[in-house]
Amino acid sequence: MSSKEFNFEVVIIGGGPGGYVCAIRCAQLGLKTAIVEKDQLGGVCLNWGCIPTKALLKSAEIVEYVKKAEDFGVKVGKPSYDLAKMTHRSRDVAKQLNQGVGVLMKKNNIKLFSGEAHFIDSNTIHIDNVGNLTSRYFVVATGASPRQMENYETDGQMIWSHKDAMMQQSIPNSLLVVGSGAIGMEFASFYNALGSRVTVIEYQDNILPTEDLEIAKMAKRHFESKGIKFYPHSTLHKIDKGKKELTAYIVDKKTHEIEAIQVSAALMAIGMVANTKNLKLEEVRVPVDKQKIIVGDFCVTQQSNIYAIGDVNNIAPSLAHKASHEGTMCAEHIAYMMGKISHKPHQMQYSNIPACIYTNPQIASIGITQEMAKKQEIDTLIGVFSAQGNGKSMATSEMSNFVKVIFDKKTNELLGAHMIGPHVSELIQIFSLAKTNELTANEIIATVFAHPTVGEMIHEAVMNAYGRTIHM
């Protein structure tokens, strides 16, 4: 089939942060582009994840500020909460951004098809209620869905999915969160701030199992000081449903003891599963592993004209900004393969992708942890700096701030950075720039950081790795 006989040059399946960014970049590069979305443009991230949860967490952050107002000489009285209004605001934010993505599709002359797609052959897909569509290239960007726990079907009332947790109209007296990853801990932080008694179960020995152990332990202490209770190395044995409460039976994996607790609601937050089930990838001989599409360089699958980006592929981490960057890279690689551009795009460096958890305090990281470095037998230099030595942290009473850096002792290469504090998701970009541009410790030390700022802690932590700390 010649290119003139295709309906499009590129069709993206999925309109989330990977898919719609890929579509825009394809259009910018002069490719005739279409996007297929079965639900809402923006995907889970924009509609039910990254964005609306941050709107809710901002409300919780304001609540926490009000609680401490008297420490700053401001008298406001005891705060009251309107969860329905918080929820309505978060939905409004998501709606505005969803509409904005639609505007971007029209602006860039990208054809939008509504419906679920599956492959007929390597150049043809079928879209429900639309029909067949042909394209020279396809990019699969179907994302992921919450993993369902066996025997615990969510009902939106007492047993919640993450979507249910965003749509509640009243605050539960008590909440059980199953899973202490980013999703679980963000909702634990949110409902704890609003007054719920929150309990968290974690299968691993430590909460936030993908984070640096020192940071995870520090975060646990902060959360416990706010009243959150943790059951590490534990599993949910069963839940008995009453008229107004749930009885949850928690098993300690080490002692095998079972403890029963009563809660108003339970949130299941045990991770995500890639959305590959209905794509009929077997028709185009695209292999999957644990439901994730296997890809190579530039996110190309075994079928050279089919790409897979974001949570649906087998490359970690599963993050919205990773998907968006992959979308841009794929678009440029397709344009290069079609002769639209002369230069081959750079392959992504996945170790340079930052990760953020928007609890209070926030957690942010990039690169390897101290435990990973030890496992890889890398000789390292570790630098740390805490809020006690930072004037801005003390002035704002943000004493949870802490920065940890990991350098290769032989080369002075920045291997990893890990942070905790109210606004570290904004500061981690400094380390992203440093790693991407391969800055050494000496180059970071030679950089002038503004005073007074929390960012100065980055400077001090790097100097601490080399015995040069000034304020500690």
Strand partners, 199: 176, 229
Check if the beta carbon of residue 121 is closer than 8 Å to that of residue 45.
no
Check if the beta carbon of residue 312 is closer than 8 Å to that of residue 142.
yes
Q: Report the SS3 class of residue 341.
A: coil
User: Which tokens in the block code for residue 109?
Assistant: 């002359």
Spatial CA neighbour of 213 closest among 100, 87, 372, 107: 372
CA dist 407 and 409 (Å) reads: 6
Give the DSSP letter of residue 209. T
Q: Report the SS3 class of residue 254.
A: coil
Spatial CA neighbour of 426 closest among 48, 54, 63, 45: 54
Check if the beta carbon of residue 330 is closer than 8 Å to that of residue 22.
yes
Give, in degrees to the nearest 5, the angle at Cα 292 between 287 and 293: 40
CA dist 395 and 397 (Å) reads: 6
* Inter-axis angle of helices 456-465 and 424-436, nearest 10: 50
User: Which tokens in the block code for residue 374?
Assistant: 């030890």
Q: How far is CA 231 from the centre of its chain?
A: 23
Spatial CA neighbour of 186 closest among 81, 267, 90, 79: 267
Cα dist from 435 to 363, 403, 418, 426, whole Å: 18, 16, 13, 16
Q: Which amino acid is at 167?
A: M
User: Catalytic residues, which ones?
Assistant: 451
Spatial CA neighbour of 37 closest among 131, 144, 117, 122: 117
